[in-house]
Chain A
Amino acid sequence: MKKTFDLLTTIEYGGCSAKLPAGLLSLVLKDLPVSLDPNLMVDVDTHDDAGVYRINETTALIFTTDFFPPICSDPFEFGEIAAVNALSDVYAMGGTPLLALNLMMFSQNHIPIEVFGEILRGGDARVREAGALTIGGHTIDDHPPKYGLAVIGTVHPDKLITNAGARPGDRLVLTKSIGTGALVSGQKNGLADRQHYRAALDQMKSLNKEGEKIAGKYQVKGMTDITGFGLAGHALKMARASKVSFRIHTGKLPLLPGAFAIFEKGSIPGASFRNQEFTGNAVHFTRGVNYTMKMLVHDAQTSGGLLMAVPADLAQQMVDELNGPGSVNGAAIIGEVLEESPRRLYFE
């Protein structure tokens, strides 16, 4: 039965495009009571990728969760992408995934039950690749389906990499191409080339494990992963948390093949507009940056790459290593960290 049920028929927005708008989320979160505990190393305050709690001198726990509706047709692949996306938050903090729980919303009244098993098998395959263990989960009857993980990872408290660690003079390195939202929307509207769509799926299935390893090796102090709020949204959160500004060269952005053409044809998902509303005045574009590119930097990414602030003298060497044999992603130096300026992001 494996290939008979198309998950994309169940949804309107898939993957990280289904996130609530960032601005709305901030409004809700700001009224929640804040927990104060000396061992709490990262909380919701800096809008980081995961919470971090020090349990002793040598170990801190990274705790995170992520789940979303189908991003692709094949159940096994959906499981893989959802798992890779959830595990990514641990890597973005410089940690190693340890344990995972499955979170599943699924209705057997709408979808053959075998699809359930396939999604879980796909997820588990990537959890294993990450070197972590799936130790249970929880399922609710709901339609359309949603799947993801809650993940616990570990990190030495001194090796923690937050989104608040970017320093003026650092170079910005992005480890995966952007445009997954464009390719998924293009696929839905019959505008995506089959090979291009396949390349986007392969990239979404690729763990940020290697990127994290290399970040550690090059003493990266500031890092985040690029997901539903797009490159601009996550870069903005990182620049704010680090109290700096970023300058980003759109000509150097790695783009998935086909992404530009799909956006140029006007197939732009609503998430791009929501993200643009969120970044608003904090972002400046020179006249040279055209509309399509403006929307692409706001394209919601599912299981996107890591954005790192790297000491300037090491950046090129690091990118060469990231693009080494076996990598599917076009890592690139995309900009630099500036002193805190009136705006947070300067695109050119």
Chain B
Amino acid sequence: MKTIDTKGLTCPRPLIMLKEGLQEAAEGEELRVITDNETSLKNMLNYLRDQGAETEVNSVGKVHTISTTRTHGTLSGEDPFLYCETSAVRNNYVVCVKSDKMGGGDPDLGKLLMEIFLDNLKLQEHLPTHVILYNAGVKLAMKDSQVCSSLSELEELGCRIMLCGTCIDHYGLQYEIGVGMISNMVTITETLAAAGHVVYP
């Protein structure tokens, strides 16, 4: 059993140490994390719950000890920073692009609006974790698309641009892709389900 003492430390440090400890623990190994910070306690419990780990908390005054076990392959690669907040609602978000146009109505206007939206998205201080493109939305990631460069810039900033593989096949665009990771509905579903919230332009 390993004990991680995070007393006196504040987020994200305790989370980083917890994640490190989990990663280095053997499968089935018990782990104890000690904290004297209420926010860190809550964040670490959120994090562990998301990993599917069982937790138990023992509190003596202001000192809390979380006991948990490294379970089978449950550790996510997500940055502990994403869990560093006081509210229970996680603030990571996913942008989901269903079409190459923004809104109904005039298609030319729709295309222009989408262009402006993606241009502005990359300027946001708080960026999405993923931009998912499906159906006609995948056309935006093609080499000759007006917004290919905006999507590339978002990717450079660490956003995962996720393309629906079925949609690319359907439109026959296999050889035209300029940016993004070809994905599938299993991954897209998982990503949407795990998102703090989803933005549909």
Q: Which residues of A contact B (CB under 8 A)?
A: 245, 247, 249-253, 255, 257-261, 264, 284-290, 293, 330, 332-333, 338-343, 346-348
CA distance A298 to B14 in the complex (A): 26
CA distance A251 to B79 in the complex (A): 10
Contact A338 B76 (CB under 8 A): no
List 13 A-B pairs, Cβ < 8 Å.
A259-B24, A260-B20, A264-B20, A284-B181, A286-B159, A287-B157, A288-B77, A288-B158, A293-B77, A341-B182, A342-B178, A342-B179, A348-B160
Contact A287 B181 (CB under 8 A): no
Contact B180 A342 (CB under 8 A): yes
Given A257-B24, A338-B182, A342-B179, are A288 and B82 also a contact pair (CB < 8 Å)? yes
Taking CB atoms, residues of chain A closer than 8 Å to B27 are: 330
CA distance A286 to B92 in the complex (A): 13
Given A285-B158, A286-B129, A339-B165, are A250 and B178 also a contact pair (CB < 8 Å)? no
Residue among B16, B77, B178, B182 making CB contact with A339, cutoff 8 Å: B182
Contact B77 A250 (CB under 8 A): yes
Q: Which residues of B contact A (CB under 8 A)?
A: 16, 20, 23-24, 26-27, 73, 75-79, 82, 127, 129-130, 155, 157-160, 163, 165, 168, 174, 177-183, 187
Contact A338 B77 (CB under 8 A): no
Taking CB atoms, residues of chain B closer than 8 Å to A340 are: 182
Taking CB atoms, residues of chain B closer than 8 Å to A339 are: 165, 168, 174, 182
Taking CB atoms, residues of chain B closer than 8 Å to A347 are: 77
Contact A284 B155 (CB under 8 A): yes
Contact A286 B160 (CB under 8 A): yes
CA distance A343 to B160 in the complex (A): 12
Taking CB atoms, residues of chain B closer than 8 Å to A257 are: 24
Contact A255 B23 (CB under 8 A): yes
Contact A287 B77 (CB under 8 A): no
Given A251-B77, A290-B79, are A341 and B177 also a contact pair (CB < 8 Å)? yes
Contact B177 A346 (CB under 8 A): no
Contact B24 A255 (CB under 8 A): yes
Q: In angstroms, how far is the closest chain A Cβ from the Cβ of B65?
A: 21
Residue among A251, A330, A341 making CB contact with B181, cutoff 8 Å: A341
CA distance A203 to B77 in the complex (A): 24
Contact A284 B160 (CB under 8 A): yes
Query: In the complex, what residue of chain B is closest to A339 when comparing beta carbons?
Result: B182
Q: In angstroms, how far is the closest chain A Cβ from the Cβ of B81?
A: 8
Residue among A252, A284, A341, A343 making CB contact with B77, cutoff 8 Å: A252
Given contacts A251-B75, A260-B23, A341-B163, 4 further A-B contacts (CB under 8 A): A249-B77, A258-B24, A286-B159, A338-B165
Taking CB atoms, residues of chain A closer than 8 Å to B77 are: 249-252, 286, 288-289, 293, 347-348
Taking CB atoms, residues of chain B closer than 8 Å to A332 are: 73
Q: In angstroms, how far is the closest chain B Cβ from the Cβ of A180?
A: 15
Taking CB atoms, residues of chain A closer than 8 Å to B163 are: 341
Given A284-B160, A287-B157, A346-B160, are A251 and B177 also a contact pair (CB < 8 Å)? no
Taking CB atoms, residues of chain A closer than 8 Å to B26 are: 330
CA distance A118 to B64 in the complex (A): 53
CA distance A247 to B130 in the complex (A): 14
Taking CB atoms, residues of chain B closer than 8 Å to A245 are: 181-182
Taking CB atoms, residues of chain A closer than 8 Å to B75 are: 251-252
Taking CB atoms, residues of chain B closer than 8 Å to A286 are: 77, 129-130, 158-160
Contact A341 B180 (CB under 8 A): yes
Query: In the complex, what residue of chain A is closest to B79 when comparing beta carbons?
Result: A288
Q: In angstroms, how far is the closest chain A Cβ from the Cβ of B59?
A: 28
Residue among A255, A287, A289 making CB contact with B159, cutoff 8 Å: A287
CA distance A290 to B12 in the complex (A): 12
CA distance A340 to B173 in the complex (A): 12
Q: In angstroms, how far is the closest chain A Cβ from the Cβ of B4?
A: 11
Contact A338 B159 (CB under 8 A): no
Given A260-B24, A287-B157, A346-B160, are A249 and B178 also a contact pair (CB < 8 Å)? no
CA distance A270 to B20 in the complex (A): 23
